[in-house]
Amino acid sequence: MKTKTLATLITSLCAAGAAHADLTVISFGGASQKAQDKAYYQPFGATGTKVVAGEYNGEQAKIKAMVEAKNVTWDVVEVESPELVRGCEEGLYEKLDYSKIGNRADFVAGAVSECGIGTFVWSTVLAYDTERLKQAPTSWADFWDVQKFPGKRSLRKGAKYTLEFALLADGVPPADVYKVLATRDGQARAFAKLDQIKPHLQWWEAGAQPPQMLAAGDVVMSSAYNGRIAAAQKEGKKLEVVWNGSVYDFDYWAIPAGSPRRDDAYKFIKFASQPEHQRVYSADIPYGPTHAKAVAGMDAKLAAGLPTAPANLTGALAANTEFWVEHGEDLEQRFNAWAAR
Amino acid sequence: MTAANPTLDALRDDGGVPLRTRLRRAERSRKLRYAALILPLALFVLVVFVWPIASLLARSVDNPELRDNLPLTLAALERWPDEGLPDAAVFDTFARELEAARGSPAIAAIARRLNREHTGLRSLVMKTARKLPLADGADARAELPAIDAQWGETETWRTIRRAGSPLTAFYLLSAVDLTTDASGDIVSLPDGEAIYLDVLVRTLVMSLVVTALCLLLGFPLAYLMATLPVRQSNLLMILVLLPFWTSVLVRVAAWIVLLQNGGLVNQALMALGLTDAPVQLLFNSIGVYVAMTHILLPFVVLPLYSVMKGISPAYMRAAVSLGCPPWRSFWKVYFPQTLPGIGAGALLVFIMSMGYYITPALLGGPQEQMISYFIAFYTNQTINWGMAAALSAVLLAATLVLYMFYSRYFGPTRTGQLQPR
Amino acid sequence: MLQPYASPLERAGHYALRTVVALTLLFLVLPILVIVPLSFNADSFLMYPMSGLSLRWYEEIFASPAWRQALMNSIIVSPLATVLAMVLGTLAAIGLVRTDFPGKALLTAVLISPMVVPVVIVGVAMYIFFAPLGLTGSYTGLVIAHAVLGVPFVITTVAATLQGFDFNLVRAAGSLGAGPLTTFFRVTLPQVAPGVIAGGLFAFATSFDEVVVTLFLASPEQATLPRQMFAGIRENISPAIAAVATILIILSTLMLLVLEALRRRNERLRGIKPT
């Protein structure tokens, strides 16, 4: 068949292009990817195996498709925690052999997971532009206060973290947030709270958007990834971060099940889990390192800007992975219904 | 005609075959040869287009998770009268099958499918699987409720039975905001969770608005093009075709530049003193309507123009010369003749708007997302392909009904000029 | 045309119509005109007034590996998809025009249907279907998908051209001893070439502008130009987007001109042919 011949021809052409021993590492892109390039990809490449960097938005559908087709072209992937746990149960990721990575005890609590090893701690914070707000907001209750802080505000379009912020703004203490959110009444309460500011909201989806929207004056306050705000600060933007009420979580390195370059993938993960390399990363973008020794050796001023700095942890909330694995599908669907109305 | 021609029968070749037969054979083999030319494309489209879409639609009723992973439990549950608790055999089989599925993707599939029916069942299944196997000789009917009280509830087993049917209407019902309650009756979803009927209505309303805008702008344009001398109308045609050939993404980017808070439109509005502060034109319905009208306008102008070009100006002149005022003769004589063009253009734009994804995704807020957005959401974000398939079925049905209407009333499309997005 | 004896009302109508049309045309063309100058902006805002002129955004896109890769991918995928669609579509169109069989209307409808089915459905269906075959995240899958989307354009334009083709020419060639292949390449193809090329152009434009199916099927390694633009618009809309847009506008203008030349040639040929 003509098509078949052509398809074979094309496949062989492309295979010729792709048949390299390079390691494909997929992460979330943006400022973080730049830091990863500097801290991990370049120096690891110097040891012999070149890294081809790619980015995605966390959609697990692509990985599922690859694994099920037994045609895995991504070797190492940066994954968020609920996706990691779910993917691990569904067999999307290799169960890690820690003897090939390092000593479990060297890593901070929560970093060691069955299918992934934490690579950094990031935080979703309240951010604002100091030049546009006369008075500094200090909590999510201020975010909800449209009298005191008039203007549009922005949240990530999704249930994850948005519902937590709503409950925090409604006066639920951080320790009880997930307990309340697990009940039907608590969910109704969170959505009712969101109703209050719905007319003032503009949603963001990509991490690069909040600093842009803040800098352009489209919104006066926004939830944002702390690293993106730091990158904007470096460029001279007068943005500020409120750590109180921030939600922090790990991102993990994971290996899609059936990766043909598993050994190299392990080597890369081991390399990227060394304290000296994590320190380079965290110096470039303020996401907390996961190797206990990496924090110890850091410049004090830089360390104070990390989500893991003790001062920043007061009033902060650890994201509850198990909760989002359980309720994610349901709540995201409900959130969609709510947002679309 | 050949039938009346006796020579065709009289003439025979060496083998004695009449010429008529030979001609018929030749004609048949020619037709076969030409039909063979269609074959490669027919196969290609069948394999890489029709088949995938058919199997996608099949997914909207397919229900493999429990059927494939808990077959024995489901078989044992057949005998259960739907009252009280199932017998010990069911519990034993279930415990064994769950244990077998432990640590494999199967358990995740089971847990996920059950969680869709009732949130909370996922962790119940995972937790239970971790406690398995039961001690030798243990009574599963007593042990499972000890692990979690939910195993001692009739409702849990009803859910398993429901989720285990070979085919399911669950996704299709959800796609129109319906669900089955505990007793198996079809009921509407509670207010906070119902969404897709709204989305469907919104998709139709937005398509209608865009169609109306396109007609409103397209009709005068096509009319002028049809009445101007060729040289001038050609110039107008190029102005219509240039954006038509320009990438949709380029046009979306251009509209962002124009409509953003500091964009030219807002600058103009402020310079004219119409507003003090920038008006929000992006990420709401304004941006989506403006860009969609811009993208789809040529699709209504082109068919209208070709219809108008075919209307002889003599009719209008005749009407006027017979004393009918120009406006009235336009309305009574000219306009009715353009109706096929209006119908064709409007339906085309309407059909195309319904499937739009890119423009609302980039220029709209959550309130402007149409049904396509939700299909993409379920496919990529939650990997709920049953739901994506069910919504696709709804959208496809609406599109095909309209298209059948279109091809019935407006003949074969002048498709050489059409470019669906 | 406005007659000298037109009534004031007619005059008003005449000018009102022209004003409305002028505004509509402005609406159609303005966005395209607005974005081009911004690609030469010296600073990093997509806003007027511009602070100065520079080529830095063009340098940036040609220096950026992501944009270069996207351009390469588009240059690989679109022509292959176009050729596939042209070959299969042209053959099928000739077959469809020259035969009659029960179900021909249905078969034609099926072959044209990729143009009607909403692209999101095409994307999802192919994605789920191609995934187990290992065709997602591959050039092969992308080329196949784009070819299917381009086929209807080739069929319809070639079929339209064939309406004016005299098949006695084929018989004449056959009776003069030419084989089917020779006849096709020496007689049929030169006659239907404008239709094939026009169809090919439409197929190329479809593929070159395709985002939705690509969004589903392509991995980052196969991201095409529109796919990269989609990410760019969503994440960070900078003058680099305007620079890419300008390049694409030049390209589409070129395609438009080729098509116009083809149309003129076709008309000329038809004008000569006695009917």
Residues near A5 by Cβ (< 8 Å), separated by ≥ 6?
none
- The DSSP letter of residue B331 is I
Q: What class has domain C65-270?
A: mainly alpha
Find the range with the poorest average confidence among A192-201, B28-37, B238-247, C1-10.
C1-10
Q: Quick one: CA torsion of A293, A297, A303, A309, rounded to 10 degrees?
A: 30
How many other C-beta atoms lie within 10 A of the C-beta of residue A311? 7
What pLDDT, on the 0 to 100 scale, is given for residue C88?
96
What subunits touch chain B, counting only 3 or more CB pairs under 8 A? A, C
Cis before B86 (ω within 30): no
Q: How far is B138 from chain C (nearest CA, A)?
A: 41
Tokens, residue C109: 């409808």
| Amino acid at residue number A267 | K
Of B33, B250, B263, the CB nearest to C249: B250
The answer to whether A54 faces chain C, any CB pair under 8 Å, is: yes
What pLDDT, on the 0 to 100 scale, is given for residue B11?
79
| Spatial distance between the Cα atoms of C199 and A16, rounded to a whole number of angstroms | 31
Question: Which domains occur in chain A, in start order?
Answer: 2-121+250-308 (3.40.190.10), 123-248+312-340 (3.40.190.10)
The dihedral built from the CA positions of residue C137, C138, C143 and C145, taken in this order, carries a sign that is: negative
The answer to whether C71 faces chain A, any CB pair under 8 Å, is: no
pLDDT tops 80 at residue B412: no
SS3 A22: coil
Tokens, residue C161: 């051209």
Closest C-alpha to B361, from A206, C116, A214: A206
pLDDT tops 90 at residue A198: yes
| Amino acid at residue number B123 | S
Tokens, residue A142: 């201020």
pLDDT tops 80 at residue B235: yes
Please give the full DSSP string across B231-280, using - where no structure is assigned.
HHHHHHHHHHHHHHHS-HHHHHHHHHHHHSTTSHHHHHHHHTTS-SS---
CB contact under 8 A, C88 and B40: yes
Residue whose tokens read 């269609």: B38
CB contact under 8 A, C245 and B254: yes
Mutate to test the interface with B, among C27, C121, C196 (most CBs of B within 10 A): C121
pLDDT in tens, B168-201: 999 999 999 898 877 778 888 877 678 899 899 9
Average pLDDT (A179-191) is 94
Average pLDDT (A274-285) is 94
Cα-to-chain-centroid distance, residue A283: 18
ipTM of predicted complex? 0.89
How many other C-beta atoms lie within 10 A of the C-beta of residue B167? 12
pLDDT in tens, B251-272: 999 998 899 888 889 989 999 9
CB contact under 8 A, A30 and C235: yes
Per-residue b or e along A98-121, where b marks 16 or more CB atoms closer than 10 Å to that residue's CB: eeebbeeebbbebbbbebbbbbbb
pLDDT tops 60 at residue A6: no
Q: What share of chain A is helix, strand, coil (3-state, %, to 5)?
A: 50, 20, 30
Mutate to test the interface with C, among B49, B286, B316 (most CBs of C within 10 A): B49
Phi, psi of A160 (to 5 degrees): -60, 130
Closest C-alpha to A281, from A126, A97, A122: A122
What pLDDT, on the 0 to 100 scale, is given for residue B212?
97
Tokens, residue A144: 């909800």
| Amino acid at residue number B395 | L
> Which residues on chain C are in Cβ contact (under 8 Å) with A65?
127, 131-132, 136-137
Percent of chain C with pLDDT over 90: 46
pLDDT in tens, A66-117: 888 788 889 999 999 999 998 998 889 999 999 999 999 999 988 999 999 9
Host H or E run for residue B376: helix B371-380
Residue whose tokens read 């796609």: B175
Residue A148, Cβ density class (10 Å: 0-12 exposed, 13-18 middle, ≥19 buried): exposed
CB contact under 8 A, C137 and A10: no
Q: What is the pTM of this model?
A: 0.87
Host H or E run for residue A242: strand A239-254
Closest C-alpha to B358, from C233, C26, C249: C233
| Residue numbers of A between 86 and 105 with CB closer than 8 Å to B | 86, 89-91
The answer to whether A2 faces chain C, any CB pair under 8 Å, is: yes
What pLDDT, on the 0 to 100 scale, is given for residue A328?
86
Residue whose tokens read 């962002």: B256
What subunits touch chain C, counting only 3 or more CB pairs under 8 A? A, B
Residues near B14 by Cβ (< 8 Å), separated by ≥ 6?
none
| Spatial distance between the Cα atoms of C64 and C73, rounded to a whole number of angstroms | 14
Closest C-alpha to B389, from B48, B15, B107, B56: B56
Per-position pLDDT tens, chain C of length 275:
567 777 888 788 889 999 999 999 999 999 999 999 989 988 777 777 787 898 989 998 899 888 999 999 999 999 999 999 999 999 999 999 888 888 888 899 899 999 889 999 999 999 999 988 888 888 999 999 999 999 999 999 898 888 778 888 888 998 898 888 898 888 888 888 888 998 999 999 999 999 999 999 988 788 899 999 998 888 777 788 899 999 999 988 898 888 888 877 777 766 654 33
Tokens, residue A105: 């005890």
